[in-house]
Chain A
């Protein structure tokens, strides 16, 4: 029996994160009372190390390893680097909040690291099996994190809802995958794409599976009509956990959509683009309109997530896939715009929840719009930070959110969906109301609570950098846009 040892080199970042997660597990067990900071620093070191490894091992080629189940390409390098940076920021923002509530335990860091590992696996998946396992690794860690605050009945309820609906979504996804396996006889994503041009492949069964695949995907990224869990979970989870759910997993969700639909089923694009179009239009409409009625900032941001994910899907809808005679796939610029939108959204969402975390302290939650009143009196700089985030989310020039919307809308118009673009712009204008309302409350209302903000200096520094990134990338979006476009273009070769 001969078996060539798989090439571990492309997966070195995953292996590093796994080993370090086990180190954190042991360190947390054996640390003394005075070393409470140990898991925190180790987690940050792990994420920084993973970023260094990812950048260091990034190559121009697409490498497959572990019997074709793992793919290392430019797309995964870019997305995973964004992932580490995002989780790093999440951990730094969350520490004070968790400590004030007695939740800052080793388990938090462990579950965050395992969730990161799950997202890495999803981003690099070239096989339905590994994609699914990565998704479950991510989801299980997040279910537990949502329920981490056992004293809170609301958190427990949110975790229960998330768990049950998440299991249902996994079921849908698995059912779709099994149908596609039945039609093509393989689970490997690139092999499925090759099978599509085979006339013996049963297209009806494939389409049947595709419906379930899209439904499961829509559930996981939370777009209408599979969005019911998003507001409840965002609202019920501790704010630090909402920050995690609302940021990094969007990157993994985007990668899941690309791997499943664009990589795996490119010639069925006519079908899945129709489905995604409906999801996108409904999400943009419902997200922007219902957010107006919210008085809770976390719920408002949840509905804003739904509309933003709808916008991201518009980018996927307008992408054109050409099959070259050589077997290569040529992707239009639209997919790059969707990726840019995702990265931009993650940046904005991390900063928005970061400011909410900044406003909390022991025994005080900052959740409602009233808590934001008069923030300018309390801290002019962080009021400016939140203003930048809100302007960016509303799509006001010249912040990153504006260019993200512009890039997607350009792609939508280029694909010939003029009325969809007009509709999206109209609803973004409606949505701008609730973003601007936050700015009005911060600058023109009297604060209800005049206590100074308490936050560690590293959190203030990182939050400032995060906000500046929103502004600076907004001024020169071209390099990131090009990076996204080339990463996606290279991934398909």
Chain B
């Protein structure tokens, strides 16, 4: 076993254990932290595959941004995870049986001959000065520019939808609008009423 394989097994063990703990940890904050660990380790595995850009993006985006937000949400919402998970262990056995059967069926149909490591030959090792980041950037902005732009439109729709569904004007808040106060005219405030003179 060479050094790379040893590193791979080391990282994979951590990844599998951490992923299992994500769904078995009793405390939701611990589960989120285990998820951080599994993301970080997966980044390491990707690094072994020379996908350094994806590894860095995973750590930056998921660990740095998404999971921190997640932790905040978990801490603030104070969800009673115990109640949500009632029956987890009771359902585990039938769930595992169904999953196992489906897996066995899929194996029976497809077999290992199509999806084994031998079925898809390993790609040639790129040259030493090859840069994943550069290649990815080149492809995204040239060949894949159309789906890239579409993805940005989808994000825009997500923003619009989120605002449309959550923003509400509160009618009961009391605040002053300086613009309206300045723009006020005499006619708005004072009404001159002509009344006939009254005789005694």
Contact = CB atoms under 8 A, between A and B. Distances in A.
A67 B146 contact: yes
B49 interface: no
B73 interface: no
- Of B110, B153, B158, chain A has the most CB atoms within 10 Å of the CB of B153
Contacts of B147: 69, 127, 129-130, 133
B66 interface: no
Contact of A107 (B146, B150, B160): B160
Given A147-B165, A204-B109, A67 B150 contact: no
Interface residues on chain B, size class:
20 to 34
Given A1-B138, A107-B163, A140-B158, A133 B151 contact: yes
B144 A67 contact: yes
B158 A121 contact: no
How would you classify the secondary structure of chain B's contact residues: helix, strand, loop or mixed? helix
A211 B158 CA distance: 30
Contact of A114 (B109, B157, B168): B157
B154 A140 contact: yes
A134 interface: yes
Interface in A131-185: 133-134, 136-137, 140-141, 143-144, 147-148, 150, 182
A3 B142 CA distance: 7
Contacts of A3: 142-143
A66 B168 CA distance: 41
A148 B150 contact: no
Given A66-B146, A144-B161, 10 more contacts: A3-B142, A18-B153, A67-B142, A70-B146, A111-B164, A114-B153, A117-B153, A143-B161, A144-B165, A205-B110
A185 to B, nearest CB: 9
B143 A67 contact: yes
A137 B110 contact: no
Given A105-B164, A150-B165, A202 B150 contact: no
A25 B143 CA distance: 29
A423 interface: no
11 contacts: A3-B142, A66-B145, A110-B160, A114-B153, A117-B153, A121-B150, A130-B147, A144-B157, A148-B164, A150-B168, A204-B109
Interface of A: 1, 3, 6, 18, 25, 66-67, 69-70, 105, 107, 110-111, 114, 117, 121, 127, 129-130, 133-134, 136-137, 140-141, 143-144, 147-148, 150, 182, 202, 204-205, 208
Contacts of A134: 150
Contacts of B145: 6, 66
Nearest to A187: B147
A255 B43 CA distance: 39
A6 B164 CA distance: 35
B150 A137 contact: yes
Closest 8 CB pairs of A and B: A144-B161, A107-B164, A66-B146, A133-B150, A3-B142, A67-B143, A114-B157, A129-B147
B200 to A, nearest CB: 50
B154 A137 contact: yes
Contacts of B130: none
Contacts of A144: 157, 160-161, 164-165
Nearest to B168: A150
B97 to A, nearest CB: 22
A114 to B, nearest CB: 5
Given A3-B142, A67-B144, A133 B110 contact: no
Contacts of A147: 165
Contacts of B165: 144, 147-148, 150
B114 interface: yes
Contacts of A107: 160-161, 163-164
A343 to B, nearest CB: 26
Interface in B124-175: 138, 142-147, 150-151, 153-154, 156-158, 160-161, 163-165, 168
A3 B144 CA distance: 12
